[in-house]
Amino acid sequence: MPISERIINDLPFLTALRHNLHAHPELGFEEERTSDIVAELLEELGIEVHRGLGKTGVVGKLQIGNGTRTIGLRADMDALAMPEMANRPYKSTVSGKMHACGHDGHTTMLIGAARHLAATRNFSGTVHFIFQPAEEGRGGAKRMVEDGLFNLFRCDAVYGLHNMPGLDVDEMAVVEGPQLASSDSWCITFRGTGTHGAKPHLGKDPITAAATFLSSLQTIVGRVVDPLQPAVVSACSLRAGDPKALNVIPDTVDIGGTARAYTPQVRDQLEEEIGRLARGTAAMYGIAVDYAFERRIPPVVNDPDATARALKAAQTVFGSKVRTRFPPSTAGDDFAFFGQQAPGCYVWLGNGPAIAGALHHNTSYDFSDDAIASGVAFWTTLVEQELGE
Ligand SMILES: [Zn+2]
Ligand SMILES: [Zn+2]
């Protein structure tokens, strides 16, 4: 389907907006300027605006006709704490901060969709434009949910979109099932009884217990988790004793690490099995153990029904250039918290070839302006089909 003339005519405005946002990056929960711009642009369209969810979050509500279905579209607004090295006319004006993940483009495309839909009004129902703060590891989505996002704005389905270098700007990947991994942390403290290094029989050595635990840790992925299910368990921190006291067996050993999975079931399994191994090892050595598993970000798992709806819209816009097979990413996205509240689908929009090899979070990365029209066309088509009369 050719992209509508209305969207093409809006591109100079949207491109200028994208460059403006790119030049003024803001970190998570600090998106004051960005959210002011977003709120002002939505208000200009007569869209009802709600601010303050997740501190700097903005939600625009556009209700047309008497359709009862409601959907949410998510764009993230935050930048990263890293310098921009490439020279471009709209290079970051803030040292040590840059839009290296393309969230400037995500915000722009959702504004473009709001501008189009508020003018054409070719649907019946309610669309919520959700501008999320702090996607980059600072917990913006969770905060918005805790602040009542889905109580204030019921969503029958919620959609997220991320740019993807390597796919063409008129290409999209819409895939059912796992898209991004969970990202969790775990900590263990083995508590023995410290003693003289020459008299181990008078204490309880936690270091030997820690060594046994670590040498068995990979059996969780290798022997317990289904071999057809990806999973990662890594110990990334180990702390015990003092190199200046090599005749002292310490009281405690601290171990910490990360766990990644693509399904809630495997995620539960990792939490349980790491704890079981820790407690079993402690019991074997007659010492105590503390175990904590911190659930940070759940996996993003695309719902079958929401995915079918997104796929239909993508195929309408991109024809045969829609991939229904695409490898999941080992990164995480806290859109997962939205997907726990309503059937969700997270899609990848092409960003063109990686220029000079720069991928997400590279100091030269940039969202491609050529993808703006594609993204706006996808969002507007999705809404018109989803909330079709
Ligand atoms: Zn990122
Ligand atoms: Zn991102």
Angle at 19 between CA 18 and CA 21, to 5 degrees: 65
Would you tell me how many other CB atoms lie within 10 Å of the CB of residue 122? Answer: 15
pLDDT digits (tens, 9 = 90+) for 247-259: 999 999 999 999 9
Report the percentage of the chain scoring pLDDT > 70.
100
pLDDT digits (tens, 9 = 90+) for 260-303: 999 989 999 999 999 999 999 999 999 999 999 999 999 999 99
Beta strand 288-297 with 183-191 is antiparallel
d(CA 54, CA 140): 6
Question: Residue 364's pLDDT band (boundaries 50, 70, 90)?
Answer: very high
Average pLDDT, integer, range 131-142: 96
Report pLDDT for 3: 92
Q: Is the pLDDT of residue 2 over 90?
A: no
d(CA 310, CA 317): 11
pLDDT digits (tens, 9 = 90+) for 65-114: 999 999 999 999 999 999 999 999 999 999 999 999 999 999 999 999 99
Ligand nearest, relative to CA of residue 103: 2
d(CA 389, CA 387): 6
First vs last C-alpha separation in the chain: 20
Among 265, 266, 338, 256, smallest CA distance to 292 is for 256
380 Cα to the center of ligand 1, angstroms:
24
Ligand nearest, relative to CA of residue 349: 2
Cβ neighbourhood burial of 151 (10 Å; 0-12, 13-18, 19+) = exposed
Q: Which residues lie at CB < 5 A from ion ligand 1?
A: 101
Among 195, 207, 9, smallest CA distance to 119 is for 9
d(CA 165, CA 147): 33
Would you tell me how many other CB atoms lie within 10 Å of the CB of residue 76? Answer: 29
164 Cα to the center of ligand 1, angstroms:
11
The 3-state secondary structure of the chain reads: CCCCHHHHHCHHHHHHHHHHHHHCCCCCCCCHHHHHHHHHHHHHCCCEEEECCCCCCEEEEEEECCCCCEEEEEEECCCECCCCCCCCCCCCCCCCCECCCCHHHHHHHHHHHHHHHHHHCCCCEEEEEEEECCCCCCCHHHHHHHCCHHHHCCCCEEEEEEEECCCCCCCEECCCEEEECCEEEEEEEEECECEECCCHHHCECHHHHHHHHHHHHCHHHHHHCCCCCCEEEEEEEEEECCCCCCCEECCEEEEEEEEEECCHHHHHHHHHHHHHHHHHHHHHHCCEEEEEEEEEECCEEECHHHHHHHHHHHHHHHCCCEECCCCCECCCCCHHHHHCCCCEEEEEEECCCCHHHCCCCCCCCCCCHHHHHHHHHHHHHHHHHHCCC
Report pLDDT for 356: 87
Q: C-alpha distances in angstroms, 84 versus 342, 348, 358? A: 36, 24, 12
pLDDT digits (tens, 9 = 90+) for 165-193: 999 999 999 999 999 999 999 999 999 99
Report pLDDT for 137: 87
Which phi and psi (to 5°) does residue 177 adopt?
Answer: 90, -155
185 Cα to the center of ligand 2, angstroms:
21
22 Cα to the center of ligand 2, angstroms:
14
pTM: 0.88
223 Cα to the center of ligand 2, angstroms:
34
pLDDT digits (tens, 9 = 90+) for 44-72: 999 999 999 999 999 999 999 999 999 99
162 Cα to the center of ligand 2, angstroms:
6
167 Cα to the center of ligand 2, angstroms:
16
102 Cα to the center of ligand 2, angstroms:
6
d(CA 192, CA 240): 12
337 Cα to the center of ligand 1, angstroms:
16
pLDDT digits (tens, 9 = 90+) for 304-362: 999 999 999 999 999 999 999 999 988 889 999 999 999 999 999 999 999 889 999 99
Q: Is the pLDDT of residue 389 over 90?
A: no
d(CA 73, CA 313): 14
193 Cα to the center of ligand 2, angstroms:
46
d(CA 278, CA 156): 42
